[in-house]
Amino acid sequence: MRALRYPLIGTAVLLLVAPVPVRAGNRGIIGGQAVKVADVPWTVALASRERFGPVRSGQFCGGALVSRTTVVTAAHCLSREVLGVEMSEAKDLRVIVGRDDLRGGAGKEIALKDAWVNPAFNPETNGGDVAVLTLAEPVTDKAPIAMAKEGDAAYKPGTEAGVYGWGDMFGNGAYSPTLRGALVYVMEDGMCRQAYPGGPEGVYQPSTMLCAGLPRGGRDACQGDSGGPLVARGRLVGLVSWGSGCAQAGRPGVYTRVSAVAALVWAHSVDPAPGAAPPAAPPPAQPPVAPPVRPPAPSVAPSASPQVAPPAPGAGKRPGRRPRWA
């Protein structure tokens, strides 16, 4: 039933054949509304025109900018199931920043310098659904979003959270050309467990996942929103990961718990975690070595104490550099 879990490819192909007309006043992410990317500038689209066609800029997943050169997304977005080929064969993967309407050319498309897909991602449970993309050039005009840390109050059940993306608006393959968002609520682990005790879609694991939605359903992320941000109290708390259908009562959306993977993300980012020790200053250039000059023998004993060479600048203990790639 794997093909049913990520029906994006088939839908994308369908979209190429019969583009979905844009309906004015439509609802979704599901049950959401239009959002300006300027208001959520860390929301990015993942795209490959080669794999998904030129319609909607080739968008197929979402992501979140967490530093100038680091985007987090879902591991399953980069799987063969979604891409149709191994990631290494998808040559034109791009991150799109600052583009509300995927039919236009606003904002910027940035190539990837590197991509790390969590090797511990488990497609059976959906546990560990995170990947780190390193951008070929830094984003300097959009603020990244802070990742929630362990114990963040934003994880308290009942907290309001926004989820953003260009995915399916009705659960029928009608992908949105424009960015949309929906307000949902962080749910209690007990409810999430009850909804997903272990089934073909995945298994709810509170240590690495959280679930969010409305008890009566009606608002949710859906296909094509994967990897995109769930934000509460101004922090990135989740990444769209999985669910059973979309927006159904008793079937909340399940998200990668960002606090559980933040350390992994920084370990695979070229930018240091905020608050981490700043990198040691580069050693100053050595002063040119002057040729030894034999001073003329003084005719009288010097009155001043002999000159002592000052210590080489930068000598002494320097803090070790943080490894850039763990």
Residue ranges that bind ligand ARG, judged by CB under 6 A: 6, 8, 167, 220-226, 240, 242-243, 246, 253
In this complex, which beta carbon is closest to ligand ARG, that of residue 11 or of residue 69?
11
Per DSSP, 285 falls in state P
Distance CA(231)–CA(145), nearest Å, equals: 9
Distance CA(316)–CA(305), nearest Å, equals: 25
CA 104: distance to chain centroid? 23
Q: Which residue out of 48, 76, 79, 259 is catalytically annotated? A: 76
Query: 129 an active-site residue?
Result: yes
Q: Which residue out of 100, 129, 168, 225 is catalytically annotated? A: 129
Smallest gap from residue 17 Cβ to ligand ARG (A) = 20
Q: Which residue out of 48, 57, 226, 241 is catalytically annotated? A: 226
In this complex, which beta carbon is closest to ligand ARG, that of residue 100 or of residue 168?
168
Distance CA(12)–CA(14), nearest Å, equals: 5
Rounded to a whole number of angstroms, the CA Rg of the chain reads 25
Smallest gap from residue 4 Cβ to ligand ARG (A) = 11
In this complex, which beta carbon is closest to ligand ARG, that of residue 83 or of residue 110?
83
In DSSP terms, 94 is beta-bridged to 47, 111
In this complex, which beta carbon is closest to ligand ARG, that of residue 242 or of residue 266?
242
Smallest gap from residue 285 Cβ to ligand ARG (A) = 51
Length of the chain: 326
Smallest gap from residue 6 Cβ to ligand ARG (A) = 5
Per DSSP, 271 falls in state S
In this complex, which beta carbon is closest to ligand ARG, that of residue 26 or of residue 272?
26
> Token pair of 96, please?
């799109």
Query: 76 an active-site residue?
Result: yes
Query: 268 an active-site residue?
Result: no
**Which residues does 173 contact at the CB level (< 8 Å), separation at least 6?**
7, 11, 14, 15, 20, 223
Smallest gap from residue 277 Cβ to ligand ARG (A) = 37
Residue type at position 319: P
**Residues annotated as part of the active site:** 76, 129, 226
